[in-house]
Chains A and B, each alone.
Chain A
Amino acid sequence: MASTPETEGQKPKHRPIVRIGIFIIAHSFIVSVVCCTAGVLALLLLPVLAKKTYVSENALMPGSAIPMITDQDVSGANNFINELTSLNSKSQSLNIEIPRLIALHMANLGGEVSYHMFQNQPNKFHPLHFFTSTDTEANNVNQTCESYATNTVGIIRAPRGDGKESIVLVTPYNPVNLSPNETLSLGIAYSVFSLLTQVSWLAKDIIWLAADSQHGQYNSVAAWLKDYHTPSFGGFGKLHDDECHISNDIIEMEVSDTLRRAGTMAAALVIKVANTGEAGEQDALNIYAEASNGQMPNLDLINVVSYLAVHGQGLRVQVDKLVSLLDSTWLKFIGEVFETVGKIARSVNPQWKFGISVKEYVEGSATLVSSLYNQALGVPTGSHGAFRDYQVDAITMEISPKLFSNSKGRQTELLFRGGRLVEGVIRSVNNLLEKFHQSFFLYLLTSSNKFVSVGVYMIAFLLLVAPLPVLAASLFSDTIKSYVKSEKNQPFKSWRWLYPTKTVFLVHLWGAIISLLPYFIYQIPDSQPTSRLLIWASLSLFILIVLGSFFRARSAEWALLKSVTVSSAFIGLCLMSVINFATAEIGALLLVPMCLMTKPWRVAGKVQSALNLVLVIIGFPGATFFVVKSVLGFENGSSLVEFWYWVESLWAWNSATYIYICMVHLPCWILCIYILLHPC
């Protein structure tokens, strides 16, 4: 921003910060290349920089008490499982019989039982769902009794507690099609429940939610949580038809009609049993932690479960990882490079503990990619995601025995193991005086006991995104200098960015419009996914052409247009990084190279134009989807249909990723294409 003043003779001195700024802007190309490579390198380095997890909250003290679960509890659980299995095989209206059986057992153990009936709310797309939590009003369609599902809720009041806090155990099951795994998970919960009615150390109430998941596991838990947290002032419990009530014809059981509450929830555990079908050496425990929009529970909860599982029960703890990456050769190559660098560093100074083995690196990368992808999608990985909306930390624990057999001995052993694990976790969480707050909320897992915290992964993102404002400033100052030099003598030189801003604004408006289009497309009855996708694409193109006639008026200089585009990409990426970091990281990897390199093809050379074309093709979200799916080897069904279902899942779950794609990624992509084809 220096100019030659007419009167002063000497060169004016800038303030130091302005001088640094001018230096960086003058060398913007080198700065961009260095920052981008550093950003990608930092991302590849993340599995190496992962630290071991540790329990931050001192009050938790996992594993410091001997498990108290007894044979009596487990044998009671076995009887319960047998009754369930026999009921499953003979009875008809399982919709009502199984909740009644569970309620009977809960009441016999001494808990307070209540039913929670809810209707299935289909996930419909409504534009305002992203910004407000609209109450889904009761559907106007008259639904019969069969559409009601019944959650059975049992509460143990802590003898020494004040009733202000509670711990929730969730066991989802499908009464229409009860599988042996679900009976096992119900059995584990039964054994823990029967133990906890007798212990003296309980300070928080225990809620056991046997969730009826015939309409989906997430929906059942979400419906119960919504009713739990919505205060009702009289008459709420009588909303349902009287015939749909489960009649209490067993005299000694008192089942409440209204919703029983037990205070704020300190933590929630969703217990499932799965059979992986492969024989390993150990029983395995899979932990699923991601909630909606990439939110994670407090790391301490995962640490406690992981510690107790490994050290207490000898289970092998696993987190979701991308299996197809475990064989990739380029990842192994990068791992070997890092290992060599680590060896060199250690030989120089033995205290630098840098570098991990190739196998660890490859597994860490696979887990990291899966963790990033799950967080980026913004779709919860299980019914524990419903708890996060109410700021309750929750995870899903899926126990998979190494050899699934129907033998009684295996079943008892599994009940013992699972029971002790759940009891240990509850005992730890029981010690808490405050909510989970000590450990991290923003992290990425590279294995079940290694994590990368926000302070580390944010650096990779910032390095990747830093060239954007530098490039915008350099393009802008170059344009201003060229105006000064050309002596056009126009008074409003520094306001000429207003014209490209109008263009960029119109394109973003287009992005907002097409994000709302599916709402109207759904009103068309009986349409196939492929036709819906084609209608959406053609409508978007049409609206773009209509809007394009508005910004044909002034063909602004491409440099200013690129500067404004890059600034808007920067603002969009930074905003998204606050909402959902993983989306912003993946979006930055796609968007930043494309935005930095785009130039009109008449100005740039042939090589650069070809590279720009490749980047632009990769930058389209649909193309990325296809490329990723084909490279990582998932091919099922027609890809167009799959793409539509993928996008549909994004807006069905109110994921902010959908808004990011429509309002930041697509407009910047369109603008980069426009700059590429600019007639200058």
Chain B
Amino acid sequence: MLVQCTMDLLFYYRSLGLSLMIENFPAGDIAALVYLWNPLTIITCLGYSTSPIENLMIVLSLYGACRRLVRLAAFGWVMASHLSLYPVILIIPLVLLIGSGLDTPPRKLFLQPKHSDGYKKTSFSWRRVVLFFLWASAWALYVLLLCGISLKEYSGLGEMFKRTYGFILSVEDLSPNIGVLWYFFAEVFDFFRDFFLIVFHINILFMVLPLAIRLHHRPCFLAFVYIAISSILKSYPSVGDSALYLGLLGLFVNALADMQFSFFLFSGYLGTLLLSPVMNNLWIWRGTGNANFYFATAMAYACFQIILVVESVSSMLNHDRALKKGATTVAKKVQ
């Protein structure tokens, strides 16, 4: 548990570095406070889970990319992907961050004809990106070498891939968790199992490209959305993943100043997270419930997470539109 606390403190210092000190609030402080005092983080630490270590690696990679420290970003990304498979999709925001720095403006946003003070479009630095990939492959080879050496008695790397990535991808263990995959895969016929595995994993992958196209000018926010989506749809989610993206939400507190339904989402999160252990008790200990009760709370939790993602993306886009119009207040649009 001491390890988890150290990881959390490191997260705090890193996110301070990530702070986007614009407008009113120190977003880095808020993000760090939200992460550290989130009951989900505390429960993750009490449960001796290794999620804080994964969270640390993800934040390390984001921090390195924001400060354009290519080696650090590559290290964080390789370690995060090694520990759990899903941070692989963060390659896109990391490349965008390394190439063009924080908050690349969209090409048409600030190129106004009346700006005649020699505004230079920021250029995309391909050199750093290539350097990033080189360092990433170097770190990956090094990690795999170390793993190979330490696993020599245990039949090597192939077995490791089968048991780590294969386990995540093939969803063998169907113990109930707070995600939505276990219930489905308990019912699916063996003949269709591979097909549905592919469908569920592509569910995350097919959202990568459209989001990248729409939000490429805000790579940090893109990373947040990717993390949120992968923590909803991954095969073995836990509250540690939710703790990470709720903490990262604090970074965009100035842009998301007018997020609608925030109170509704807060109550929904609170209610679902309190109801989940009660339903588990009703099912497993009392025997008067069944798996449907517990899965209903998992579905409700996924619903609230999706509403959070949708609302945050739409208020970020509204914020951009307002910036474009030069308005000082954000107009609330109706979807």
Chain B residues with CB below 8 A from A567, complex form: 263, 267
Chain A residues with CB below 8 A from B282, complex form: 578
**B332-A3 in contact (CB<8A):** yes
Q: Which of A483-509 contact B (CB under 8 A)?
A: 489, 491-495, 497, 501
Output the residue of B263, B288, B327, B330 with the most chain A CB within 10 A: B263
A400 CB-CB contact with B under 8 Å = no
Chain B residues with CB below 8 A from A3, complex form: 331-332, 334
**A575-B274 in contact (CB<8A):** yes
A239 CB-CB contact with B under 8 Å = no
Output the residue of A12, A564, A578, A579 with the most chain B CB within 10 A: A578
Partner of A5, one of B24, B275, B331: B331
CB distance from B93 to the nearest CB of A (A): 26
Per-position 1/0 for B70-107, Cβ under 8 A of A: 00000000000000000000000000000000000000
Q: Which of B5-29 contact A (CB under 8 A)?
A: 24
A6 CB-CB contact with B under 8 Å = yes
**A2-B334 in contact (CB<8A):** yes
Partner of A476, one of B263, B286, B333: B263
Partner of B278, one of A441, A491, A575: A575
Chain B residues with CB below 8 A from A15, complex form: 335
**B329-A495 in contact (CB<8A):** no
B49 CB-CB contact with A under 8 Å = no
Chain A residues with CB below 8 A from B254, complex form: 491
Compute how far the CA of A657 lies from the CA of B71 in the bound complex, rounded to whole angstroms: 57
Compute how far the CA of A491 lies from the CA of B329 in the bound complex, rounded to whole angstroms: 7
B259 CB-CB contact with A under 8 Å = yes
**B266-A501 in contact (CB<8A):** yes
A391 CB-CB contact with B under 8 Å = yes
Chain A residues with CB below 8 A from B263, complex form: 476, 494, 497, 563-564, 567
Chain A residues with CB below 8 A from B335, complex form: 15
Smallest CB gap from A15: residue in B: B335
Chain A residues with CB below 8 A from B264, complex form: 473
Chain A residues with CB below 8 A from B287, complex form: 391
**A571-B271 in contact (CB<8A):** yes
Compute how far the CA of A36 lies from the CA of B266 in the bound complex, rounded to whole angstroms: 26
By DSSP majority rule, is chain B's interface helix, strand, loop, or mixed?
A: loop
**A574-B279 in contact (CB<8A):** no
**B278-A578 in contact (CB<8A):** yes
Partner of A442, one of B267, B279, B288, B327: B288
**B259-A494 in contact (CB<8A):** yes
Compute how far the CA of A2 lies from the CA of B329 in the bound complex, rounded to whole angstroms: 16
Known: A491-B24, A571-B270. A5 touches B278 (CB 8 A): no
**A578-B257 in contact (CB<8A):** no
Compute how far the CA of A492 lies from the CA of B327 in the bound complex, rounded to whole angstroms: 16
B320 CB-CB contact with A under 8 Å = no
Compute how far the CA of A295 lies from the CA of B285 in the bound complex, rounded to whole angstroms: 12
A65 CB-CB contact with B under 8 Å = no
**A495-B271 in contact (CB<8A):** no
Q: Which of B271-294 contact A (CB under 8 A)?
A: 271, 274-275, 278-279, 282, 286-288
Compute how far the CA of A144 lies from the CA of B230 in the bound complex, rounded to whole angstroms: 62
Smallest CB gap from A500: residue in B: B263
- Number of residues of chain B lying within 8 A (CB) of chain A: 29
A14 CB-CB contact with B under 8 Å = yes
Partner of A391, one of B275, B278, B286: B286
Chain B residues with CB below 8 A from A391, complex form: 286-287
Smallest CB gap from A476: residue in B: B263
Smallest CB gap from B279: residue in A: A578
B122 CB-CB contact with A under 8 Å = no
Compute how far the CA of A295 lies from the CA of B282 in the bound complex, rounded to whole angstroms: 11
B125 CB-CB contact with A under 8 Å = no
**A295-B278 in contact (CB<8A):** no
A553 CB-CB contact with B under 8 Å = no
Partner of B334, one of A1, A491, A579: A1
B262 CB-CB contact with A under 8 Å = yes
B164 CB-CB contact with A under 8 Å = no
Output the residue of A391, A476, A492, A501 with the most chain B CB within 10 A: A492
Compute how far the CA of A3 lies from the CA of B334 in the bound complex, rounded to whole angstroms: 8
CB distance from B262 to the nearest CB of A (A): 6
Compute how far the CA of A442 lies from the CA of B275 in the bound complex, rounded to whole angstroms: 18
Compute how far the CA of A5 lies from the CA of B330 in the bound complex, rounded to whole angstroms: 10
**B262-A495 in contact (CB<8A):** yes
Smallest CB gap from A442: residue in B: B288
**A491-B258 in contact (CB<8A):** yes
Q: Which of A9-48 contact B (CB under 8 A)?
A: 12, 14-15
Smallest CB gap from B256: residue in A: A495
Compute how far the CA of A15 lies from the CA of B270 in the bound complex, rounded to whole angstroms: 26
**B331-A6 in contact (CB<8A):** yes
Chain A residues with CB below 8 A from B279, complex form: 578
Per-position 1/0 for B235-268, Cβ under 8 A of A: 0000000000000000000100111101110110
Compute how far the CA of A2 lies from the CA of B333 in the bound complex, rounded to whole angstroms: 8
Compute how far the CA of A579 lies from the CA of B278 in the bound complex, rounded to whole angstroms: 7
**B275-A1 in contact (CB<8A):** no
Smallest CB gap from A2: residue in B: B334
CB distance from A661 to the nearest CB of B (A): 17
Partner of B257, one of A1, A14, A492: A492
Partner of A1, one of B260, B329, B330: B260
Chain A residues with CB below 8 A from B257, complex form: 491-492, 494-495
CB distance from A476 to the nearest CB of B (A): 6
Chain A residues with CB below 8 A from B327, complex form: 6
Chain B residues with CB below 8 A from A5, complex form: 331-334
**B274-A494 in contact (CB<8A):** no
Q: Which of B295-335 contact A (CB under 8 A)?
A: 327, 329-335
Smallest CB gap from B329: residue in A: A489
Known: A391-B286, A491-B257, A578-B282. A571 touches B274 (CB 8 A): yes
Smallest CB gap from A11: residue in B: B334
Q: Which of A345-394 contact B (CB under 8 A)?
A: 391
Chain A residues with CB below 8 A from B266, complex form: 497, 501
Chain B residues with CB below 8 A from A494, complex form: 257-260, 262-263
Smallest CB gap from B330: residue in A: A491
Chain B residues with CB below 8 A from A491, complex form: 24, 254, 257-258, 329-330
Known: A491-B24, A491-B258, A495-B257. A1 touches B332 (CB 8 A): yes
CB distance from A575 to the nearest CB of B (A): 6
CB distance from B246 to the nearest CB of A (A): 14
CB distance from B54 to the nearest CB of A (A): 28
Chain B residues with CB below 8 A from A574, complex form: 271, 275
Compute how far the CA of A473 lies from the CA of B278 in the bound complex, rounded to whole angstroms: 26
CB distance from A55 to the nearest CB of B (A): 19
Chain A residues with CB below 8 A from B331, complex form: 3, 5-6
Chain B residues with CB below 8 A from A578, complex form: 275, 278-279, 282
Compute how far the CA of A289 lies from the CA of B332 in the bound complex, rounded to whole angstroms: 57
Compute how far the CA of A344 lies from the CA of B93 in the bound complex, rounded to whole angstroms: 72
Compute how far the CA of A495 lies from the CA of B286 in the bound complex, rounded to whole angstroms: 40
Smallest CB gap from B286: residue in A: A295
Smallest CB gap from B328: residue in A: A489
CB distance from B276 to the nearest CB of A (A): 11
CB distance from A480 to the nearest CB of B (A): 9
Q: Which of A468-486 contact B (CB under 8 A)?
A: 473, 476
Smallest CB gap from B275: residue in A: A575
Compute how far the CA of A442 lies from the CA of B288 in the bound complex, rounded to whole angstroms: 8
Output the residue of B279, B288, B329, B330 with the most chain A CB within 10 A: B288
CB distance from B2 to the nearest CB of A (A): 23
CB distance from A501 to the nearest CB of B (A): 7
CB distance from A52 to the nearest CB of B (A): 23
7 contacts between A and B (CB under 8 A): A1-B332, A5-B334, A12-B333, A494-B262, A564-B263, A575-B278, A578-B279
B-side residues, CB < 8 A to A, are: 24, 254, 257-260, 262-264, 266-267, 270-271, 274-275, 278-279, 282, 286-288, 327, 329-335
**Extra 4 A-B pairs, beta carbons < 8 Å, given A489-B329, A495-B259, A567-B263:** A492-B257, A494-B257, A571-B274, A578-B279
Shortest 9 CB-CB contacts between residues of A and residues of B: A491-B257, A12-B334, A391-B287, A441-B288, A497-B263, A571-B271, A3-B332, A567-B267, A492-B257
